[in-house]
Amino acid sequence: MSEPSSRMLALLSLLQVPRDWPGTLLADRLGVSPRTIRRDVDRLRELGYNVAALRGSDGGYRLDAGSQIPPLLLDDDQVIALTVALQVVPALGADIGDAADRALATLRRVMPSRIRHRVAGFTVTAMPANQNADLVAPDVLRVLASASHAHEIVRFDYQTGPSRRVEPHGVVASNSRWYLVAFDLDRNDWRSFRVDRIIPKMPTGLRFSPRPTPGGSAVEFLRRRFRGSDDGEWSCVGQATMHIDASAIAPYIGDGSVEDLGTDTCRVQLGAWSWNAVAAKLAQFDADFEDASPPELQQAVVRLGARLSAGGR
């Protein structure tokens, strides 16, 4: 890789991986001498990148944060990733749509023609966030995410209850909604909070030592909370044979499974927080089904059928 600009772009791409890079390893990766690497590092520093030199027999480099944003050198795949990410912002439920549109317009203006043609094929339209949830203000996200990172106790008003005082452990996005996973100090238990219902108060400045999050992470905690189980698995899982082609229901099976048995017949497995909910999931498909198991699901199907029959009178 002899072209200086292409080589510097490749060097910067490697340095953006958060690790210490021996100079000899960088030279081997790029097919140049360690002296050339030293010259390219100097050029990156002139552009504003804070590349730290590491001591040692081999020497090395690490890309650190600087005092200002230097010119961004992105490879083609990174540009495409940014373009797609900025286009799906409306589905995130955060009030940053205008900023994303401006960032996308800026990015498109400076794209080389070769990348612009590739990106043209990645034009997507994202459905707006859940209409039942208010858009989350970016300042609220920033406060909660920063407090989670800094292990700082947060106080806030909550729309569906009294004020809270919590130890934040993570902000999670799921299905166009944002959630704060935190340990509630007043209730001495773990809780999840809708971020669009949070009104932060003044920072407390009080630090805490992070507790082990149930499940190992904020994401896993929230997944288990949604499923109503301690292990993250559905508490009720059932099966049934359905008289419909597997391909007709596969796109709507969610986290269940479908086995094609041929001749417009398939075996589905679905999970939910209750047997009534599993029965309702089976009933959502416009198809007859039989051989439901286990017995708890069979009983739930009978109850659901009686309820629907009574409601249709």
Give the integer Cα–Cα distance in Å for 54 and 22.
8
**pLDDT for 1 beyond 60:** no
Give the integer Cα–Cα distance in Å for 105 and 264.
49
CATH class as words, domain 138-227: mainly beta
Q: What are phi and psi of 82, to 5 degrees?
A: -65, -40
Rg (CA), the chain: 27
Question: Does CATH place domain 236-311 in 3.30.70?
Answer: yes
Q: What is the pLDDT of residues 165-177, one digit of tens each?
A: 999 999 998 888 8
Name the amino acid, one letter, at 203: P
Q: What is the pLDDT of residues 136-147, one digit of tens each?
A: 999 999 999 999
Q: What is the pLDDT of residues 284-306, one digit of tens each?
A: 998 999 999 999 999 999 999 89
Q: What are phi and psi of 207, to 5 degrees?
A: -95, 160
> How much is the pTM?
0.65
When pLDDT is cut at 50, 70 and 90, the band that residue 57 belongs to is low
Q: What are phi and psi of 35, to 5 degrees?
A: -65, -40
**pLDDT for 211 beyond 50:** yes
Domain ranges of the chain: 4-64, 76-120, 138-227, 236-311
When pLDDT is cut at 50, 70 and 90, the band that residue 125 belongs to is confident
Q: What is the DSSP letter of 195?
A: G
Q: 4-64: which CATH architecture?
A: Orthogonal Bundle (1.10)
Would you say 222 and 215 are in contact if contact means Cβ atoms under 8 Å apart?
A: no
Q: What are phi and psi of 181, to 5 degrees?
A: -100, 125
Taking each continuous run of H as one helix and of E as one strand, the counts in the chain are 11, 12
Would you say 208 and 148 are in contact if contact means Cβ atoms under 8 Å apart?
A: no
